[in-house]
Structure 1
Amino acid sequence: MRIAVYLPLLLSLLAPLGARHLPERCEPRLATWLLTASALVLGAASTVSLGLLAVAGLIRIPVLAVLGHWSVHAAQRDDPTELSVSLIAGLLLGGAVLMAARMLWRRARTLAAAALEAACLPAENGLVVVEDEAPDAFAIPGMPGRVVVSTGMLHTLNETEHDILLAHERAHLTAHHYAFITLAQLGAAANPLLRPLATAVTYTIERWADENAATTTGDRTRVARTVGKAALAGHAARARSSMSAALGILGNRTRPVGAGPVPRRVAALLAPPLGRHPALAAATLAVLVSTSMATAEAAHDLHALLETVGAW
């Protein structure tokens, strides 16, 4: 284990780069898949790498070496990993496993509660209307899921915009967007360097739902205006700043990367649909394949080392 074991950790440093370019250049569905796979693969690979480094250090501890019938001298000769590096890796591994388990537990409880709530809500064609003057709309995953819309939001939008809103929220349910978020957040919990990827997934699933609504209605401009209108209504407390940003973007067909998620979504809808960008997708897949191969190579090296020190 010389270079391969460190490669997944080094490639995790590319996460901000992928989180910046994939959402703005790739079709949203493909971007969501690539970002989620990147977070999951890099998170798993980096955790395995920490585990391999920690095990490589354990065989250098005399007490454990005696119990395992290992040769400390052979381990020091054949493996260049410093004991201090292995100790740090062990601590990071414990933190990664703890954070990932904690995230999974909380997410499982949240999804279970959402499914139970969805099953108990009376609905017509999967739609639940609640009496609330605050404009709001969201999807609750379940079997089946529900789209919940407040009366305040229905009063804010007209009939055509109601259809756009429902198409957007139903896209979240039919495409199981909650699963993408869960997997991306799991990878980020194991490796904090991957948090930009998880954040990007929360944006690309909204873009995915926007594009689904645009395909359903056949009017990208109207969908863009509905997204902006619903966002402004839902953020009434910040009406002045939100309105200036949203109205400014409605007349601009460029994609302001540094802007907030809603103006970026509106700008993307006013622009032509994004393509699959095969070069960027291929580069992402190459990183994931390299990560997987490096992890497998590091595991093989550790296996060979254990055989060497055990047979000494």
Structure 2
Amino acid sequence: MRISVYIPLLVTAVLAVLAPRAVRRPAPRPAAWFLACAALVTATGWLGSLALLAFTGFAQIPEVAEEGHWSVAALRTQDPVSPAVASLSALTLAAGLALLGVAAVRKVRHVLWARRECGRAPQDTELLLDEEVPQAFALPGAPGRIVVSCGMLRCLGDAEREALLAHERAHLRGRHHHFQTVWRLTAAVNPLLRPLAETGGFVLER
């Protein structure tokens, strides 16, 4: 465990640097799947390594070792983890889990809001926002909605409007909000994965 436990931490740093560059050439769909899977696997490994480091240091406390019926001397010899590393790992793990909880709650609230707003709109309506500010976005739900402001429509010609609606329909059809959820939650667990979330958003727009 001396080296292997640190591998997920190293992979996370390397992935955060190289992944944004690696997904520029592939097609958007496989690039999005790669980023989502990489973020999920890496975040899981990150949490596992932190938990293992924290537990190994915590297990060297004589009272804990007595309850677990293992040898502190043997543990220190086979899996040496300094108290400082164990403490830092425990704090990082606790912070990551807390941020994950906050991000998950915010996501649930957003989903509930989106479903409530979709439920209020007529089933055959796509243009919902009566504002002059140009904006357009896909609102996931059951069913999903495309929200386009009147200001945006006035800025576009007929062909551009069709392209805009097709673009937003593609977001709903591809369920891109699930990808965004994965990236946001993994970035909350590990801030080093934020470049993947930013790159993933760009890939989905492609």
Shorter-chain TM-score category? over 0.9
TM-score (norm 1): 0.63
8 Å CA contact 1:50–1:89 kept in 2: the answer is yes
Amino acid aligned to 2:73: H
Amino acid aligned to 1:174: R
What are the Cα deviations for residues 145-191 of structure 1, in whole angstroms up to 9, with x where unaligned?
Answer: 00011111111111111111110001111111111011011111111
Task: Spell out structure 1 runs of 4+ moving beyond 4 A.
Answer: none
TM-score (norm 2): 0.95
State whether structure 2 residue 126 is matched by structure 1 residue 127: yes
Q: The residue matched to 1:26 in structure 2 has which SS? A: coil
Deviation, structure 1 residue 128: 2.4
| Aligned position for 2:22 | 21
Q: 2: distance between equivalents of 1:80 and 1:163?
A: 62
What are the Cα deviations for residues 256-275 of structure 1, in whole angstroms up to 9, with x where unaligned?
Answer: xxxxxxxxxxxxxxxxxxxx
Which residues of structure 1 form unaligned runs of 5+? Answer: 208-312
State whether structure 2 residue 81 is matched by structure 1 residue 46: no
Q: The residue matched to 2:127 in structure 1 has which SS? A: strand
Q: 2: distance between equivalents of 1:177 and 1:156?
A: 26
Amino acid aligned to 1:191: N
What are the Cα deviations for residues 104-132 of structure 1, in whole angstroms up to 9, with x where unaligned?
Answer: 111111111111111112252x5124322
Q: 1: distance between equivalents of 2:185 and 2:29?
A: 20
8 Å CA contact 1:44–1:190 kept in 2: the answer is no
8 Å CA contact 1:50–1:90 kept in 2: the answer is yes
Q: The residue matched to 1:138 in structure 2 has which SS? A: strand
State whether structure 2 residue 137 is matched by structure 1 residue 138: yes
Q: 2: distance between equivalents of 1:88 and 1:67?
A: 24
Amino acid aligned to 1:61: I
Deviation, structure 1 residue 86: 1.3
Q: How do 1:1-312 and structure 2 match up within 5 A?
A: 1-14=1-14, 15-22=16-23, 24-124=24-124, 126-207=125-206
- In structure 2, relative to structure 1, the CA distance for the partners of 1:102 and 1:130 (3 Å cut) is closer
Deviation, structure 1 residue 67: 2.0
